Every structure is written in structure tokens, then in C-alpha cells.
């Protein structure tokens, strides 16, 4: 048997989800090389996936006896110990993993999780902050930091971390709930409303883990009104129309920002004015619909064109904005307020532009 080829094949099968085949190959490797640390480690991983924790720990510890500097094995041992509620042991395992691999970002995240589980919040902050230095675009790290700062009453730090998390992962539900709670605690009810509304829009059926969400919202009269507004307006539909002209990176950032704040009942249309920097293929991931304009028509004619399209649809509200400004995250709230002002009878058009 070629051990190197067999190891590569076993890992390929493991990644493909063929656990039995991977296990068979690793066992065959151990028959020829009983001290093969890779086979021992990954058999431990396989046993962990099968919830055979005792066997998993046995195999990984055998690998570590042979190679004490095996950082991945220490990290995985910590994961198993954490699942078993052995947090102190898990902390030691993660620390050993990082001793042998100081740039192991996932081990810093796991260590932060373990510290948080035993309420060692300051230690958790240090671990998460190190993780952000090594992996600044990894989703979830800033969320965890935001949660800790919320627990510690450091609300400004919590807000900053949650905003960074939204930039990385706009679809993260929990961030909106944390921001709503933090701003409420800071006495900034209007800002709290925005994020509680976002949370409600993203979670019409509030999951069990947010069992106190409705209570938190309803403790405040204006937040209670937000719940009522949401229930009244959840059947409306909003059309967002944005012209996109050249400037590829700015267009991308603008559309990403709009997607971050639009709700499930909004439809985002991008009007492509024959840009020379990108095609419709570039725009499609960022918009629900890309409309290729018949020709260059200038902004004023385009506004008429967009409004005419809106009148021919069944949408209740229209929001028109440019792609070269920072997008207003409160546009949905403003539109709904205008809709209510018009007694829910008139279509509303809101145009946001930087002069």
C-alpha cells in the first residue's frame, strides 16, 4: 500500500461524506503503520462525527502521544471535550494547539467560545480579538464579541462589533436582535426600533432561542407599536429602483448595502445604462432583477422611465436611489411611515439623492 496515496484518498472520501469508506482506508493504513498520526487523528474525527466520544478521544490522544506538537489534533480534542461539557480541559487543549500553531485562527475562536461558556469574558474577548486579527472576514467572531460586550454593559463596543458583523454577514439574524436590545438599553428607542423591525422581518415566526424577544419589544410602548406596524405592513410590497453607471466597485458596494437592509417583501431592480465597466452578469447576484435600458437617457428621463415601470406593477411603494452614495438603512421605515400617512391608499415614491 502506498500510504501517502491512501491518506489522500481517505481524506477525499471524508470530505465527500463517505464516512465508512474513509474509516476503512484509515484502518488499513494503521494495519501497516500503527503509529500513523494522520490515520489516528482522522479516525478520532470520524468517531466524533458518529458521536462515539470515548473512541474519538482515544484515537486523538494516541496521535498526540506520538506527535505532541500536532496542533490540529489538540484543537479537535478541545472540540470533543467542549461537547462533553469539559470546558476546563477544552481550554487547555486549545491553548496547546495555539502554542504549537500561533496563527491557528479557528483555535482562537474555539478558545473564545470555551472561555465564554465558563463566563471568563475578558479572556474570551482577548481570544476573539486575536481571531479577528488573523481572520478579519470570518463570520461569527464579531457577533460573539458583541454578545460579550452586551453582557458586560459596554454598549458602544457591542454596537461597533455588531455593525462589523453585519458587513461580513448581512443575513445574520441575531445581530439585529442584539442591536435592538443594546440601543434600547442605551435609551435610543428610534434606533432600537429599526433593528427590532429588521429582526421581526427576518423572523416572522420567532425561534425558540429568542423566546424573550416579544417580551423585550412589548416592554416599551413604541416597540409594541413597531410590532403592530409590522403586522399591518407585512403584506405590502416595495420596489427599489437604482440606476447603475460604470464605477464597478461603488456599484457593487451600493447594491450590497441595499440588499443588507431590504426585507423579504422588497424587490431590488438595477437599471443598467450600457455600462462599459460591467455586464448584466456582474449585476445579477446583487439584484432581484437587472433591466438593460434601451439607451443612455440621462437621470431625469430615467426617473420617469422607472416611475412608469412602477405604475405598471402591483407594488405599493417605490424607492429610487443612486448607486454612488451611502445607502440609507432607514428607507423601509420611512416608506412605511409615509404609507400610513396616506391612509394606506396612495402609492408612495421616495427619492434619495446627494446633491
Classify residue 328 by its DSSP letter. -
Domain that holds residue 344: 236-352
- Kindly tell me if the per-residue pLDDT of 233 is higher than 60: no
Q: Are residues 135 and 245 in the same domain?
A: no
Considering 163, 196, 229, which residue would you say is the last residue of a domain? 229
Residues of the chain by 3-state class (helix, strand, coil), percent to 5: 65, 10, 25
Q: Are residues 219 and 118 in the same domain?
A: yes
Q: Are residues 203 and 348 in the same domain?
A: no
Q: Quote the Cα angle for 128-133-134, to 5°.
A: 95
Of 138-142, 168-172, 288-292, 326-330, minimum mean pLDDT range? 326-330
- Tell me which of 265 and 109 has the higher pLDDT: 109
CA dist 162 and 178 (Å) reads: 8
Q: Write down how long the chain is.
A: 355
Kind of pairing between the strands at 317-321 and 348-352: parallel
Q: Are residues 11 and 38 in the same domain?
A: yes
pLDDT per position as a tens digit, 73-119:
999 999 999 999 999 999 999 999 999 999 999 999 999 999 999 99
Show the cell assigned to 299: 437621470
- Tell me which of 91 and 282 has the higher pLDDT: 91
Q: Are residues 348 and 317 in the same domain?
A: yes
Q: Are residues 264 and 133 in the same domain?
A: no
pLDDT of residue 104: 97
pLDDT of residue 249: 81
Q: Are residues 25 and 67 in the same domain?
A: yes
Query: What does the pLDDT average to over 43-66?
Result: 94
CA dist 198 and 76 (Å) reads: 36
List, in order, residues 6 or more apart from 290 with CB less than 8 Å away: 269, 270, 272, 280, 283, 284
CA dist 187 and 285 (Å) reads: 38
Q: Are residues 98 and 139 in the same domain?
A: yes
Task: Kindly provide the b/e burial profile for residues 86-115, where b requires at least 16 CB atoms within 10 angstroms of the residue's own CB.
Answer: bbebbbbbbebbbebbeebbbbbbbbbbbb
- CATH number for the domain spanning 96: value is 1.25.40.10
Query: What does the pLDDT average to over 29-35?
Result: 90
pLDDT of residue 197: 75
Q: Are residues 17 and 141 in the same domain?
A: yes
Average pLDDT for the chain:
83
Considering 229, 261, 290, which residue would you say is the last residue of a domain? 229
Considering 204, 229, 254, which residue would you say is the last residue of a domain? 229
Q: Quote the Cα angle for 37-42-44, to 5°.
A: 100
pLDDT of residue 66: 96
Q: Count how many domains the chain has.
A: 2
Using an 8 Å Cβ cutoff, are 81 and 93 in contact? yes
Q: Are residues 193 and 300 in the same domain?
A: no
Q: Are residues 43 and 154 in the same domain?
A: yes
- Kindly tell me if the per-residue pLDDT of 330 is higher than 90: no
Element (H, E) at 246: none
- Kindly tell me if the per-residue pLDDT of 333 is higher than 70: no
Q: Are residues 136 and 168 in the same domain?
A: yes
- CATH number for the domain spanning 279: value is 3.90.550.10
pLDDT per position as a tens digit, 126-183:
999 999 999 999 999 999 999 999 999 999 999 999 999 988 888 888 898 899 888 8
pTM for the whole structure: 0.62
pLDDT of residue 72: 96
pLDDT per position as a tens digit, 272-281:
887 777 888 8
Amino acid at each position: 500500500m502506498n500510504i501517502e496515496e491512501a491518506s489522500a484518498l481517505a481524506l477525499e472520501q471524508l470530505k465527500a461524506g463517505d464516512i465508512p469508506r474513509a474509516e476503512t482506508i484509515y484502518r488499513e493504513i494503521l494495519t501497516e503503520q500503527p503509529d500513523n498520526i494522520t490515520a489516528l487523528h482522522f479516525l478520532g474525527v470520524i468517531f466524533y462525527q458518529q458521536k462515539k466520544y470515548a473512541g474519538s478521544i482515544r484515537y486523538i490522544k494516541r496521535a498526540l502521544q506520538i506527535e505532541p506538537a500536532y496542533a490540529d489534533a489538540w484543537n479537535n480534542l478541545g472540540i470533543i471535550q467542549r461537547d462533553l461539557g469539559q470546558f476546563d480541559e477544552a481550554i487547555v487543549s486549545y491553548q496547546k494547539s495555539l502554542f504549537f500553531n500561533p496563527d491557528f485562527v479557528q483555535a482562537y475562536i474555539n478558545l473564545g467560545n470555551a472561555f465564554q461558556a465558563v463566563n471568563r469574558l475578558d479572556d474570551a474577548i482577548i481570544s476573539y480579538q486575536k481571531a479577528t486579527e488573523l481572520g478579519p472576514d470570518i463570520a461569527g467572531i464579531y457577533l460573539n464579541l458583541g454578545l460579550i460586550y452586551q453582557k458586560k454593559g459596554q454598549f458602544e463596543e457591542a454596537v461597533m462589533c455588531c455593525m462589523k458583523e453585519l458587513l461580513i454577514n448581512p443575513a445574520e439574524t441575531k445581530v439585529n436582535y442584539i442591536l435592538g436590545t443594546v440601543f434600547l438599553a442605551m435609551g435610543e428607542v428610534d434606533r432600537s426600533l429599526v433593528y427590532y423591525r429588521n429582526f421581526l422581518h427576518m423572523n416572522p415566526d420567532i425561534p425558540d432561542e429568542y423566546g424573550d424577544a416579544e417580551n423585550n419589544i412589548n416592554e416599551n410602548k413604541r416597540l409594541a407599536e413597531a410590532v403592530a406596524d409590522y403586522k399591518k405592513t407585512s403584506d405590502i410590497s416595495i420596489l427599489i429602483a437604482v440606476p447603475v453607471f460604470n464605477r464597478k466597485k461603488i456599484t457593487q458596494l451600493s447594491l450590497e448595502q441595499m440588499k443588507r437592509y431590504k426585507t423579504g417583501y422588497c424587490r431590488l431592480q438595477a437599471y443598467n445604462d450600457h455600462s462599459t465597466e460591467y455586464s448584466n452578469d456582474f449585476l445579477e447576484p446583487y439584484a432581484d432583477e437587472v433591466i438593460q435600458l434601451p439607451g443612455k437617457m440621462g437621470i431625469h428621463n430615467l426617473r420617469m422611465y422607472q416611475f412608469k415601470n412602477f405604475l405598471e406593477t402591483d407594488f405599493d411603494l417605490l424607492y429610487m436611489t443612486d448607486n454612488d452614495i451611502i445607502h440609507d438603512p432607514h428607507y423601509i421605515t420611512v416608506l412605511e411611515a409615509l404609507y400610513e400617512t396616506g391612509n394606506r391608499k396612495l402609492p408612495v415614491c421616495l427619492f434619495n439623492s446627494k446633491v
